[in-house]
Amino acid sequence: MTTPTSSDGSSSSGRPPLDHDPWAPPSSSPAGVVPRLPYPVPPAQPRNGMGITALVLGLVGIGLGLFIILFWISWLPALLALVFGSIGLSHARKGLATNKAMAVSGLVMGIVGLLIAAGSGVVTVLTVKHAVDDARAKVREIKKGNEKAAAEEAARHLSFGESYTFGDGLKVTVAKPTPFTPDAIAYGHAKGNKAVQVTITVVNTGKQRVSIKTGLPDVNDADGASAELVIDGSGRQKVLTGYLLPGRTAVGKYAFSLPPAAAGRAEVEFSPDAIRWDDAYWSGSTR
């Protein structure tokens, strides 16, 4: 007589089938139910954003800092790189990020960027200060030059009888003009004008001989008009010319014709070398 078996292989008598493994663990699943395995939990994504941001900002900060004119904005990305790099490094130490090297690089670049920004700021300040100091020095030099030129200009305006020493050592004195009577035949003297004689004394106060290259003066009347040079045959006029030895003196005499209305005052312009030295001026009354 056979014992009927169920569909799952067990005997209806409650006895295990002949092929049953007595050592297998009992099944906890109901008959005909396949057990479900749990789904795998995905690992947490690494938080690498801080390290990447720190690296990018560090590069930007250093790049801007290398341009002197942009140093004033380079400190901001460098400072942010320092902050984000510190946060990224903290995440890496806690195992929340996998780009520790990138965070450290961003942190270091942030520090370097700040140093470059500070150095660029110092260089800019020193450059501007140097430029301002140079500009002020030039202004002072120009002012001194103007003052010196004004003083020299004032020194070249003298009264009759005073002396002026030029740069080559020639000391020049122009005496007060004296009346002059031209010969009957004279060039440059109109009838009714007042003729005056201008006497110029030159002394070489230097240690070398000096050439007198422009020994002819210019005379202006009281109205500022140029007076005519009088030339006659009297032989009383003498033109300064040639070399003058050290310690020697030369005297030049010239006659000029002044109109009656402007004959009361005159100005004499003279330079022993008009190419090298500006004229000196002697003025005063002719009466």
Q: What is the pLDDT of residues 251-277, one digit of tens each?
A: 999 999 999 999 999 999 999 998 889
Q: What is the pLDDT of residue 10?
A: 47
Q: What is the pLDDT of residue 267?
A: 96
Residue identified by tokens 């795998």 is: 40
pLDDT at 89 over 70: yes
Spatial separation of the C-alpha atoms in residues 69 and 56, rounded to whole Å: 21
Spatial separation of the C-alpha atoms in residues 252 and 79, rounded to whole Å: 84
Kindly state the tokens that stand for 96. Answer: 């929340």
Q: What is the pLDDT of residues 149-190, one digit of tens each?
A: 888 888 999 999 999 999 999 999 999 999 999 988 889 998
Spatial separation of the C-alpha atoms in residues 206 and 216, rounded to whole Å: 22
Spatial separation of the C-alpha atoms in residues 225 and 167, rounded to whole Å: 29
Q: Provide the residue ranges of all domains of the chain, joining segments of one domain with +.
A: 49-134, 159-285
Q: Pick the more confident residue, 246 or 21.
A: 246
Spatial separation of the C-alpha atoms in residues 171 and 194, rounded to whole Å: 29
**Whole-number Cα distances in Å, 191 to 107, 181, 260:** 102, 12, 10
> For 74-110, b where at least 16 C-beta lie within 10 A, e where not — what string?
bbebbbbbbbbbbbbbebbeeeebebeebbbbbbbbb
CATH architecture observed for domain 159-285: Sandwich (2.60)
The rounded percent of the chain whose pLDDT value lies above 90 is 38
